[in-house]
Amino acid sequence: MLARAPQGKREREFEFTPADFEAVRKTLYELAGISLNDGKSDLVYGRLARRLRSLRIPRFSEYLAYIHSAAGEGEVVHFINALTTNLTAFFREPHHFEFLANTALPETMQRHRNDHRVRLWSAGCSTGEEPYSIAMILSETRLLDSPWDTRLLATDLDSNVVATAREGRYAEQRIAGLTRARSKKWFHPLPGGKDVQVKGALQEAITFKQLNLMHDWPMRGPFDVIFCRNVVIYFDKPTQKQLFDRYADILVDGGYLFLGHSETMHRLSDRFELVGKTIYRKVK
């Protein structure tokens, strides 16, 4: 999710022209499908000035040329990471997890009563709170227990947050909203009393990977459930439509797609039906 623009203005270390801003917008869209609106100029400067300073590049035009060169291939991920941020929480939008536990997973278990194969994907996993919340529900519905072959994939565009999610270390206040039973079962305090660590059994239930949704997807699916919340809001309508079609292609018939609270696929896809608040079921 895009960060908020910095407050106030200050003298700039680097020249940053309207043409530079447009070039950044174009590059971000080409690389990640993310559309920046006109009001994000200060945000872009504030975030990318750090990269110019770190690389000792004096001008934005040179920085963008570097990104597009063979030598700057490794800088692409830093460019994308710099312009995105990730706000999330455990069991954010709790009605989604209630639906997952009470409707989606029972249907999934019925569908797979013979092969015991269940696949879920957190697409835009941020720092891990979403997939860990899903994994807790999987445990509580006994889908993490044998004989079920249950796999949960968690991906994000930002390699830094994927690393944080994989580590599973959080400030203690991050789990304040969890029930006491869940906190005790799935987290243990770290020395110093300020952080907690996700227990190994929950970490082992999730495969974390960096993935650009605009690129080819290495996984074949099919998936039974996909969470893609607070992601598509940053794409333009043609990109959203393309992404919804790709999700439909990789979901089982009757599988579920969860979107964020301010997102919709109204007039963008006829392959899903709305069955709850930002909860969609694949129909074709």
- The three-state secondary structure class of 207 is strand
Q: How many angstroms separate the CA atoms of 86 and 184, rounded?
A: 26
Order of strands across the sheet that contains 187-189: 169-171, 195-198, 187-189
Active site residue 156: yes
What letter represents residue 16's amino acid?
F
User: Which is catalytic among the residues 25, 47, 119, 166?
Assistant: 47
Contact status, residue 16 vs residue 41, Cβ threshold 8 Å: yes
User: Which is catalytic among the residues 20, 42, 156, 158?
Assistant: 156
Active site residue 195: no
List b or e across 252-277, with b for residues whose CB sees 16 or more CB atoms inside 10 angstroms.
Answer: beebbbbbbeebebeebbebbeeeee
Based on the number of CB atoms within 10 Å of its own CB, is 16 exposed (0-12), middle (13-18) or buried (19 or more)?
Answer: buried
Which two structure tokens, joined as six digits, stand for 168? 């599973």
Instruction: Please list, in sequence order, all residues whose beta carbon lies within 8 angstroms of the beta carbon of residue 36, skipping any fewer than 6 positions away.
Output: 2, 24, 25, 28, 29, 44, 83
| Apex 236 CA angle, 231 and 241, nearest 5 | 80
User: Residues with catalytic annotation?
Assistant: 47, 156
